[in-house]
Amino acid sequence: MRGIFRGGTLVQIFLLAILLVGCAEKLKTYEHSGEKIKIKYPLGWEIQEGILGSVVIFNSDKEGENDRFQENLSVIVQDLGGQKITLEQYSAAVVNQIKHIIPSDQIMEAGTMTLSGNKGQKIVCRVAQGGFRLKLLQIWTIQGQKAYMITFTAEEDKYLKYQGVVQKMIKSFKIL
């Protein structure tokens, strides 16, 4: 029994694990008063607003100077212009658009989920772009006359590494 605790190694590993979990948990709140949304994101992630039609894009930290792709999560809010569109109609249009861009054999998962307390849809797919093998998670819902879409994009081999923090971000998303 004494060999296990030699030099306090077990205690050091335990303390290191607590520190790492604590660091991963630190989230900051982003709020956009114009679009009436709020979402938490990890400290250190870069924020870009108004790029490519998005309200906001959160870019992960670079993992070193050889990291050529920054994993990211974007939020888009689309005004439906007074049209009476159901979630099912909007979802059919989104999936149809995705299938025109991405071969159907690269769509890994599709289903329902909740976003900010609203019934929503999700799709997970693979795509090759710019020399990268990417994996995307796209989630959307409708509330009032607006559609809300969150897209997480990661290099395929890093997707699982970010999945936990991305799920926290998605769960924190609120339509105000």
Contacts of residue 53, Cβ cutoff 8 Å, sequence gap at least 6: 76
The confidence score (pLDDT) of residue 25 equals: 57
What contacts 21, CB < 8 A, 6 or more positions away? none
Cβ(152)–Cβ(137) below 8 Å: yes
Q: How far apart are CA 59 and CA 61, in angstroms?
A: 7
Give me the residue label for tokens 């660091």: 23
Provide block-wise average pLDDT over 10 residues at a time, the chain (176 residues). Answer: 44 40 71 97 96 96 90 97 94 91 87 97 94 96 97 97 97 98
pLDDT score, position 102: 85
With a CB cutoff of 8 Å and minimum separation 6, the contacts of 58 are: 30, 41, 42, 45, 46, 47, 72, 73, 74, 169
Q: Under 8 Å CB-to-CB from 77, ≥6 apart: which residues? A: 35, 37, 55, 146, 147, 148, 149
In a domain, 37, yes or no: yes
Q: Is residue 2 part of a domain?
A: no
What is the predicted pLDDT for the residue at 13? Answer: 43
- Residue 153 CB-half CA count within 13 A: 16
Q: Is residue 44 part of a domain?
A: yes
pLDDT for the residue 169 = 98
Distance between CA atoms of 8 and 128, rounded to whole angstroms? 47
For residue 1, being part of any structural domain is answered with: no
**Is position 65 within any domain?**
yes
Is there a domain that residue 152 lies in?
yes
**Which H helix or E strand runs over 176?**
none
Q: Find the CATH number of the domain harbouring 108.
A: 3.40.1000.10
Distance, C-alpha 21 to centroid of its chain: 19
> Does the residue 103 lie in any domain?
yes
pLDDT score of 100: 87
Instruction: Write down the H helix ranges in the chain.
Output: 9-25, 87-101, 159-172
| Structural domains counted in the chain | 1
The half-sphere exposure of 94 on its side-chain side, counting CA atoms within 13 A, is 26
* Domain-embedded: residue 72: yes
The boundaries of the domain holding residue 154 are 27-175
